[in-house]
Amino acid sequence: MIEQYYHYDTAKLLAEYNHNKAVLKSLKEQYNALDGAGGMDYSSGKVTGGKSTDALEKTALRRIDLATKIKDYEHDLQRIDDCMAQLTETEQTVLTEFFLKGQTKTAAVYHLAESLHLEQSAIYDIRKRALNKFQHLIFG
Domain region containing 98 = 10-35+54-139
**What pLDDT, on the 0 to 100 scale, is given for residue 35?**
74
Q: Which has more pLDDT, 81 or 50? A: 81
The answer to whether residue 134 sits within a structural domain is: yes
The answer to whether residue 1 sits within a structural domain is: no
- What count of other Cβ atoms lies within 10 Å of the Cβ of residue 17? 19
For the cut 70, the answer to whether the pLDDT of residue 2 exceeds it is no
Give me the number of domains the chain comprises: 1
The answer to whether residue 71 sits within a structural domain is: yes
The answer to whether residue 47 sits within a structural domain is: no
**Whole-number average pLDDT of the chain:** 87
Give Cα separations from 83 to 4, 10, 78 (angstroms).
18, 12, 9
Among the residue ranges 35-44, 103-112, 122-131, the one predicted with the least confidence is 35-44
The answer to whether residue 46 sits within a structural domain is: no
